Structure 1
Amino acid sequence: MKHFICIFTIALVLVSCKGNDKIVLRSSVGKLNKVMVVANINDWNGDIGKEIRNSFGELVAGLPQPEATLSVSQIAPNGFNSVMKASRNILIIGEGSKDEFFVKKDAYAKPQTVVYLKGKTKQRTVALFKKHEKEIIDIFLAADLKMIQNVFGQTKLDDTQFKTLQNLGISLTLHDKFRTVDDTGEFLWLRHHLTSGIAKTGSNNIILYSLPLENEETVADSIVAVRNRIGKKYIPGSDPETMHMITEEAYTPSTFDAIIDGKKAFETRGKWEVKNDFMAGPFINYTIIDKKNNRIIVFEGFTYAPSVNKRAFIFELEAIAKTMKIK
């Protein structure tokens, strides 16, 4: 009888699984902008590890403290067990029977990005990494951006509540921790109070507005002047008569070409400060050329989080900016 029940149970399980052969992956884990490198200790302590650390360790522009583009940790292949395979970003690198470079998504967990890079010799492995280093960094950063955007999408605010977004014909994926500071119909200022760790006295902020497009050739050169003018008009300090946000005068911002919603844009990273006060922090600014509507649209995120690293906060603001849709 027991034998019959056992067979019946197995048969029932098999029938219930029929037509549903998908493998359910566990959730991945890992901090933003962090990569686990699976490599032999000799490779990690040698030229391969040196190249990885130098490449991933390039400093993020505009942050007050030096912070690497990607943080790394290393584990030997024989330690790459089930627990470690749950990491969200993984680089598996070393020698192999042939030169190869490829990417797998959701190999052991979800969401997950695993980059495989093998060379016939250590020298070939280093050369192959150098060839693909920018691509590898972009792959990991893009994966983290998508992951954050998906997380924010789960608690997305109804952005039709903001007059400025409606008037400008813009939509954004904003998570529900943001609160309105100002929404005039022409200028929007949102704030997310940071509630964890030492940064709980700080905030992430978003401002958004548009200006007429007068001369496309001078847009990039006028970004600092425009943000200083907007800061004086809309972002006061504790004494509005003498204090307002400006671009930090001792630090020259860095500007790069970008694309937002298929449109030409400029990404500017730098530091802000409050004139005649001691408040300061990093900002990321996207100035977008909207030829169809003969205007420029400005999205800026800035962080105030004294005494803590700010890479992750700015990265979250970048992720939000890149969800922008323009009518």
Structure 2
Amino acid sequence: MRHVYFLLLSFLLIACNDGPKKTYKPESIGAINSLGVVIENDLWEGPVGDKIREHFAAPVIGLTWDEPLFSLEQMPQKVFTTTTRYRRAVLFVDIDTVNVAHIKSDLYAAPQKIGVIKGSTEDEIIENLDAYSDQIIAAIKEMELEETQKRFLRSLNKDRLLEEKFGVTFRLPSIYKLGKQEDNFVWIDREIQKGSMNIIAYQIPFDRLNNDSTLVTDFIRMRDSIGEKYIPGPDMRDKKTYMTTEDAFAPHFFQTEIDGHPALEVRSIWDMENYPMAGPFMTFVIDDEINNRKLVVEGFTFAPATNKRDYMFELEAILRTIKFK
């Protein structure tokens, strides 16, 4: 029997040794929406650097003034060592004998996305940047949204704010509080240093906003009617103040998806009727055909004289966690 036990033990040890070995990856570092650009100084200061900034520091759509898609931090290759390699988002650009463009995941840390752009000449690098920047940007943005959503788990609001009213759940940080609740309207907000970040939700019939030729007008009319009814501005003598959609900025419309449901994404600027207040908003109109409705959720920020990119990114991360029950 002792020989049998020895053979069994030997078999188990061999089986364990033959299995795949997991390599430890340190946790990645870096601020949300910051991008480390590994590139030599001469390339950074010339046409290649200009092309990188054109794509990766392009203005974010729907903000009150230009803010870059990513905060770029350039470094030459000799600096890209030790803990610097643990950055979560990296763009690696270099002249090489190969002409390639691809994305590497979790190479030095996790989570991590490294966009690699190489070419034998500056012109080849620029061509690859034009062809593959959108793909790299999308991969990094998806990772940054997931990282932001993971951080929400540290302290979640336990109130069933949208579940009871609209039958959906979402990850809401505990710093957000219920501001207003009516039959077909919920308003949630949090205070920030110079203003507030806000989330509103309501539902409309499923057959609304289905006409492409009148979509812009119909959306603005719908949104302004909600603002007039539920989102008042400061008290003014002999004047009614309420949230509207800024006339000077045409809304940007995109097709997207929330929890497997087709959704319309809209970004633009809100303002107050009869009062000098304004800021960015982002609306998702989500199809819920089973319940013959569209769920409308919106994030908007009021933060005068303050950059708003990261505020709006947090609101987007929250809204994209919505799950239909």
Paired with 2:247 and 2:129, the residues of 1 have a C-alpha distance of 38
The answer to whether the aligner puts 1:142 opposite 2:138 as a matched pair is: no
Aligned residues: 303
Mapped contact 2:103–2:136 kept (Cα < 8 A): no
Q: What corresponds to 2:210 in structure 1?
A: 217
Kindly tell me: are residues 159 and 326 of structure 1, through their superposed partners in 2, closer, same or farther at Cα, counting changes over 3 Å?
farther
Paired with 1:104 and 1:157, the residues of 2 have a C-alpha distance of 35
Q: What corresponds to 1:9 in structure 2?
A: none
Paired with 2:243 and 2:210, the residues of 1 have a C-alpha distance of 26
Deviation at 1:60, TM superposition (A): 1.3
1:117 alignment partner AA? I
Q: Quick one: which of 226, 231, 236 aligns to 2:232?
A: 236
Mapped contact 1:223–1:287 kept (Cα < 8 A): no
Q: What corresponds to 1:14 in structure 2?
A: none
Deviation at 1:145, TM superposition (A): 0.6
2:125 alignment partner AA? T
1:120-159 aligned at under 5 Å gives the runs 120-159=120-159
Paired with 1:292 and 1:147, the residues of 2 have a C-alpha distance of 31
Paired with 1:260 and 1:314, the residues of 2 have a C-alpha distance of 17
2:230 alignment partner AA? Y
Deviation at 1:27, TM superposition (A): 3.4
2:228 alignment partner AA? K
The answer to whether the aligner puts 1:201 opposite 2:194 as a matched pair is: yes
Paired with 2:256 and 2:107, the residues of 1 have a C-alpha distance of 31
* Percent of residue pairs bearing the same amino acid type: 33
Q: What corresponds to 1:86 in structure 2?
A: 86
User: What CA deviation, in whole Å up to 9, does each residue of 1:169-203 have, x standing for no partner?
Assistant: 11111111101101235211101111xxxxx1311
Kindly tell me: are residues 99 and 20 of structure 1, through their superposed partners in 2, closer, same or farther at Cα, counting changes over 3 Å?
closer
Paired with 2:248 and 2:115, the residues of 1 have a C-alpha distance of 39
Paired with 1:228 and 1:42, the residues of 2 have a C-alpha distance of 51
1:271 alignment partner AA? I
1:258 alignment partner AA? T
The answer to whether the aligner puts 1:253 opposite 2:251 as a matched pair is: yes
Q: What corresponds to 2:40 in structure 1?
A: 40
Paired with 2:190 and 2:127, the residues of 1 have a C-alpha distance of 44
1:1-327 aligned at under 5 Å gives the runs 22-160=22-160, 162=161, 164-194=162-192, 200-215=193-208, 217-218=210-211, 220-221=215-216, 222-239=218-235, 242-327=240-325
CA RMSD of aligned residues (A): 2.1
SS of residue in 2 equivalent to 1:27 = coil
Kindly tell me: are residues 85 and 314 of structure 1, through their superposed partners in 2, closer, same or farther at Cα, counting changes over 3 Å?
same
Q: What corresponds to 1:8 in structure 2?
A: none
SS of residue in 2 equivalent to 1:257 = strand
Moved more, 281-290 or 93-102: 93-102
Mapped contact 1:237–1:245 kept (Cα < 8 A): yes
Deviation at 1:73, TM superposition (A): 1.8
Deviation at 1:144, TM superposition (A): 0.7
SS of residue in 2 equivalent to 1:279 = strand
Mapped contact 1:159–1:174 kept (Cα < 8 A): no
User: What CA deviation, in whole Å up to 9, does each residue of 1:78-110 have, x standing for no partner?
Assistant: 111223223221111112232223322232233
Unaligned runs of 5+ in 1: 1-17, 195-199
Mapped contact 1:35–1:71 kept (Cα < 8 A): yes
Deviation at 1:215, TM superposition (A): 4.4
Kindly tell me: are residues 123 and 26 of structure 1, through their superposed partners in 2, closer, same or farther at Cα, counting changes over 3 Å?
same
Paired with 2:40 and 2:290, the residues of 1 have a C-alpha distance of 54
